[in-house]
Amino acid sequence: MKRSIEDTSIVMVGAGNLATHLARAFYKKGFRILQVYSRTPESAARLAQEVEADPVTDPAALTTWGRLYIAALTDEALPGLIPALTSGRNRALWVHTAGSLPLDLWAGHAERYGVFYPLQTFSRQHEVDFGRIPVFVEGSDPDTTALLRAVAATVSTKVYEATSAQRRYLHLGAVLACNFTNHLYTLASDLLVRHGLPFDALQPLIDETARKVHELSPHQAQTGPAARGDRHVMDEHLRLLEEDPYLAQVYRLLSQGIEERKNKD
């Protein structure tokens, strides 16, 4: 490719957590970000100022000069906005950042399109090292896929191709590993607070558990009474949870799953 990848002018469609971190990452790598779109003027202006772009609040005001349009919107909002976003800009490269939406969402609306999916949870206040975040790409044709791989490689050292079908399972796995785990943190926190104990007492344990799966498979790293088949301890825990039927059900189901998985060894 004779032109530098950084010559690819970008339009950010969205100004939420993911859009903010993506825009910052590309900006730091020298990409020119032309515009930032958001329905909320304050959000568009805040991110646009960070990356020296123009804020836009109306899809009709999006420039036609962008080479890469990145739609980092919610799964609910994006499909209905696609006709307005791509109108007059259908010859540019359009990508979305969703794990659960298919590639062909763009079909019939753009000539070239793809998916640019960073597998991470983002908060606007916490800066991340984007270079360590896996990015999964998919393109409407081999040349588009190659371009997206090249663009992704400028901001991340972990770039992969994944089909829409694969990405659905990837997203499901992320929900299990991240969202469900965080819900368990919430349940543990509520339990400890009810009994006058601080949640931060669990944080070193949480950190060590997360660290171990960098060295062992999750199955190998599994510990606890269910993994040991310690029925006495599990029965005592369930007795303590008689006051909380929901948490008791969660405990029972997860313990059963751990026992059954261990018994397959």
Say what the pLDDT of residue 49 is: 98
Task: Report the percent of the chain where pLDDT is more than 70.
Answer: 98
Say what the pLDDT of residue 2 is: 39
- Domain termination site, one of 126, 145, 162: 162
Same domain membership, residue 103 and residue 28:
yes
- Supply the CATH number for residue 84's domain: 3.40.50.720
Same domain membership, residue 211 and residue 130:
no
In the predicted model, is pLDDT for residue 86 greater than 60? yes
Range of the domain at 198: 168-263
Structurally, how many domains does the chain consist of? 2
Same domain membership, residue 118 and residue 248:
no
Same domain membership, residue 116 and residue 196:
no
Say what the pLDDT of residue 6 is: 64
Same domain membership, residue 142 and residue 53:
yes
Same domain membership, residue 226 and residue 142:
no
3-state secondary structure the chain: CCCCHHHCCEEEECCCHHHHHHHHHHHHCCCCEEEEECCCHHHHHHHHHHCCCEEECCHHHCCCCCCEEEECCCCCCHHHHHHHHHCCCCCCEEEECCCCCCHHHHCCCCCEEEEEEECCCCCCCCCCCHHHCCEEEEECCHHHHHHHHHHHHHHCCCEEECCHHHHHHHHHHHHHHHHHHHHHHHHHHHHHHHCCCCHHHHHHHHHHHHHHCCCCCHHHHCCCHHHHCCHHHHHHHHHHHHHCHHHHHHHHHHHHHHHHHHHCC
pTM recorded for the entire structure = 0.88
Question: What confidence tier does 4 reach under pLDDT thresholds 50, 70, 90?
Answer: low
Of 4-8, 15-19, 73-77, the least confident: 4-8
Sign of CA dihedral 145, 149, 150, 152: positive
Same domain membership, residue 172 and residue 140:
no
Same domain membership, residue 188 and residue 103:
no
Same domain membership, residue 174 and residue 145:
no
Residue with tokens 């791989």: 149
- Domain termination site, one of 139, 162, 185: 162
Same domain membership, residue 205 and residue 156:
no
Same domain membership, residue 223 and residue 152:
no
Q: Quote the CA–CA distance of 18 and 72 in Å, as a whole number.
A: 7
Say what the pLDDT of residue 3 is: 47
Say what the pLDDT of residue 121 is: 87
Report how far apart, in Å, the C-alpha atoms of 75 and of each of 50, 71, 100 are. Answer: 25, 10, 8
pLDDT tens string 127-136? 888 999 999 9
- Domain termination site, one of 119, 145, 162: 162
Report how far apart, in Å, the C-alpha atoms of 107 and of each of 23, 99, 104, 130, 142 are. Answer: 25, 17, 5, 29, 16
Q: Which two tokens stand for residue 106?
A: 């763009």
Interacting residues of 19 by C-beta distance below 8 A, sequence separation 6+? 12, 13, 36, 47, 70, 72, 97
Task: Report the percent of the chain where pLDDT is more than 90.
Answer: 92
In degrees, to the nearest 5, what angle opens at C-alpha 56 toward C-alphas 141 and 11? Answer: 25
- Supply the CATH number for residue 225's domain: 1.10.1040.20
Same domain membership, residue 152 and residue 46:
yes
